[in-house]
Structure 1
Amino acid sequence: MSITDTPVESSSEAPQRFPTPDLRASALAEVTAQVAATAEANDRSGDIPWEGLAIAHRAGLLTATVGQEYGGPDLGPAEVARILIALGEGDPSVALITANSLAVHHGQAVGAHWPLAVYEDLLTRSQAGPAPVNAVRAEPELGAPARGGLPTTTAVADGDHWILNGHKTFATGGEALAYHVVWVLADDGRVGHLIVPGDAVGVRITRTWDHLGLRASNTHDVDYADVRVPIENFHEIPRVGGVYRDPAAVAGLWSFGHPALYIGVARAARQAFVDFATTRVPISLGRPISTTERIQAVAGEIDTQIATAETLLFGALARAQADEPAFGAQLSLIKVAIARAVITAVQTAVAALGNAALTRHHPLERHLRDVLCVRVHPPQEDSALIAAGRRILDIP
């Protein structure tokens, strides 16, 4: 989504219709435990994690960024990071679907580009139960747009409607989405997002998602065949200097939801390591392996990497919110560093436990598969490093 950082003016504040989530550590730990109860089964089946989404809905987590003018709690990026860490520790597929929904609600809170009646429908659905929403952008030939290019998905004006046609890939939330925010090229040359009901005639989900990790995220392909969408549902993404620049190409304050959820995965891996180490008693040793200095050192290394990731995350959010001069240019690098730390944490646990950790019935195997997905979220590592190198070397 195209997100601005300037709140919209509101003439009055609506009565609160969505709960303010309980972000106490004990409350979030309870949500984590409840969501985790079905994570393994959903990973194996690839089904939409409805149970976990329902838990997140009841806790008010799916609507935590709804603006105050719409009756929401309008939580900030640090609070959202805590929510996504807790969900990621329980089930990262639930966390990813939630992260994307929270980004869209935040975008509406600060930009108000949804038609009021359409957004009201989304809010009504969100009161009744989980109503995920996501930006649907990637395409087979182009991939994700963060590296440049224009969509081949088109919107052609037809009276008071657009006619939408195209094929999208990696639409996280897939069959669960109440609304798709579709990246399109309009017939008048504008680039933007078209807000499309998930149940609109002509929208077809193709179950293509057969991935290493986040298997329950329902990140399938979508075909749009002559889908009629009201003309007011289009939101243009402004061009900069006459050129379209994808907003996801550079990390911003509100783009840290994705790395936050993988910190949750690393926390889950740490606990899985502890559970194994404190209960594994080899005959040759006669006591739990947790009593050995080797395992204690490994546990310390895992904790070091998680502490590093958490400090980078919340430190970056604090510095960005304080509007420190020139720090914004480093946000993409911070995302890279967080990704490296959480992957190292999980790989360290897996390497220490060997075959046991790579067995399907052990949770570390799932955590390893899931944490590797942190690398796919834009801006990706090579793009961030090249941009930073050009900046410090003063190369245009």
Structure 2
Amino acid sequence: MSDLIRSWLRNERHERLYEKAANIAEEARSHLEETDLEAKFSHQTLKVIKQEGYPSLSLPLRLGGEGISLYEFLFLQEKIAEGDGSVALSIGWHVGVLMELSEDRNWSKDHFMELARQVIENQAVVNRAATEPATGSPTRGGIPETKAVKQADHYILNGRKTFTSMADHLDYYIVSAYVEDLKDIGWFIIDRHQPGVKVEKTWDTLGMRGTASDDLVLENVELNVDHLVEVKSKGKPSPKGWLLHIPACYLGIAVAARNDAITFAKNFQPNSLDTPISDVSHIQDKIGEMEWKLMQAHSFMYSTARKWDEEPEQREHMGPELAAVKLAVTNAAVEVVDLAMRIAGGRGLSKDQPFEKYYRDVRAGLHNPPMDDAVLRMLAGKALNE
């Protein structure tokens, strides 16, 4: 079976990095049944992720990382998602957050260097915890109900965060809270072992079950003032190229579905036919449709990533383009998986086949930010204001 993702590699460095992702994908695939059934993240997969040095890849070379580009980040994430989309999305948040902190430098040098040291030396894993039951996605602008109250030289935090991917496996949480004395939203870095921090097993969804995105609960968590690492900026938010790890993840799921659909078509021969169903015209039509959708999605996503990497002066204007990639690629991924299901027919609904999991997982992409309606309004506004 041809490797669609490998076709986007351009040099020996890419090949070396790709092998790390391929090893993680292989490990993740071996735990699919367990993680999907129990809605948990595999300890063994995380062990391999750390053995491959994946958590430190987006840190600068001068600190001991690989300083991966956006283009490299995306093909790595896509390959891991081919093994298990849940693993790719989960670790993608960590790598993306470190990429953002490295590039935007919105933390003090001391705060960033301490986190970077933990990642380099221990392959520590971190994620932002921002979503809450009442606010929904933070991209919609809701004010956190998690509160940080200052008492003398420390803060007391109370609140609950939902959709905290890999919640029980993270070494650090970067938690958003309304900081009462500042009358603003701030971000606190919290060690997982801090008293008052606990994870409640609440994750029971249709798809992407293996992200184990359980609730993070904070009960009178006492933090030094120094743990306030970031305060919400007042200006217009800058485009975040690293968020393309989201469409890359769902594109990887679609590629896996495409590969399995072709294998199924080549090998399934009902007794009503003299050849496998791969020779049937309507099956070939569906395979052809999968191919051109994937070609379009890959071309749009990777050309945009190259523009981000090679034309940094254009980044501040790329918000609509990045959002359009997410909309186009995730919707194309949904369509490709649907076509794979149609090729497999009723057998695709069986737990004995991989297609029903692809079908459940890929739909989660429609609910990751930015949402389709927000993207369409952004694009309409850009056109109307030209």
Change (3 A) 1:139 1:29: closer
In the TM superposition, residue 269 of structure 1 has moved relative to its aligned partner by: 0.4
What is the correspondence of 1:116-131 to structure 2 with a 5 Å cutoff?
A: 116=110, 120=114, 123-124=117-118, 127-128=121-122, 131=124
What is the correspondence of 1:1-396 to structure 2 with a 5 Å cutoff?
A: 23=16, 28-110=21-103, 111=105, 113=107, 116=110, 120=114, 123-124=117-118, 127-128=121-122, 131-188=124-181, 189-234=183-228, 235-240=230-235, 247=237, 252-321=240-309, 322=311, 323-324=313-314, 326-394=317-385
Q: How far apart in 2 are the matches of 1:78 and 1:30?
A: 19
Deviations 1:190-232 (A, max 9, x none): 2121111112110121111101111011101121111012211
Asked if the contact 1:115/1:233 (under 8 Å) is kept, the reply is no
- The total of aligned residue pairs comes to 368
Asked if the contact 2:17/2:76 (under 8 Å) is kept, the reply is no
Change (3 A) 1:120 1:126: same
In the TM superposition, residue 23 of structure 1 has moved relative to its aligned partner by: 3.8
Q: How far apart in 2 are the matches of 1:30 and 1:132?
A: 19
Asked if the contact 2:165/2:212 (under 8 Å) is kept, the reply is yes
Change (3 A) 1:24 1:75: closer
Deviates more, 1:59-68 or 1:169-178: 59-68
Paired position in structure 2 for 1:15: none
Coordinate RMSD, CA, aligned: 2.3
Change (3 A) 1:119 1:159: farther
Deviates more, 1:262-271 or 1:352-361: 352-361
In the TM superposition, residue 237 of structure 1 has moved relative to its aligned partner by: 1.5
Q: Structure 2 counterpart of 1:376, which letter?
A: H
Q: How far apart in 2 are the matches of 1:182 and 1:198?
A: 11
Structure 2: runs of 5+ lacking an equivalent: 1-12
Q: Structure 2 counterpart of 1:209, which letter?
A: W
Change (3 A) 1:327 1:112: closer
Asked if the contact 1:181/1:193 (under 8 Å) is kept, the reply is yes
Q: Structure 1 counterpart of 2:132, which letter?
A: E
Change (3 A) 1:226 1:311: same
Q: How far apart in 2 are the matches of 1:165 and 1:374?
A: 30
TM-score (norm 2): 0.88
Structure having the larger proportion of residues in helix: 2
Change (3 A) 1:30 1:292: farther
Q: How far apart in 1 are the matches of 2:68 and 2:27?
A: 23
Q: How far apart in 1 are the matches of 2:30 and 2:175?
A: 33
TM-score (norm 1): 0.86
Amino-acid identity (%): 27
Give secondary structure in 2 for the equivalent of 1:167: strand
Q: How far apart in 1 are the matches of 2:138 and 2:20?
A: 38
Asked if the contact 2:158/2:219 (under 8 Å) is kept, the reply is yes
Give secondary structure in 2 for the equivalent of 1:170: strand
Paired position in structure 1 for 2:3: none
In the TM superposition, residue 122 of structure 1 has moved relative to its aligned partner by: 6.4
Paired position in structure 2 for 1:17: none
Asked if the contact 2:146/2:177 (under 8 Å) is kept, the reply is yes
Change (3 A) 1:187 1:69: farther
In the TM superposition, residue 352 of structure 1 has moved relative to its aligned partner by: 2.6
Deviations 1:218-253 (A, max 9, x none): 10112111101221121112112xxxx6x5xx8532
In the TM superposition, residue 125 of structure 1 has moved relative to its aligned partner by: 5.9
Change (3 A) 1:318 1:122: closer
Structure 1: runs of 5+ lacking an equivalent: 1-19
In the TM superposition, residue 320 of structure 1 has moved relative to its aligned partner by: 3.1
Q: How far apart in 1 are the matches of 2:72 and 2:96?
A: 13
Change (3 A) 1:140 1:117: closer
Q: How far apart in 2 are the matches of 1:204 and 1:358?
A: 37
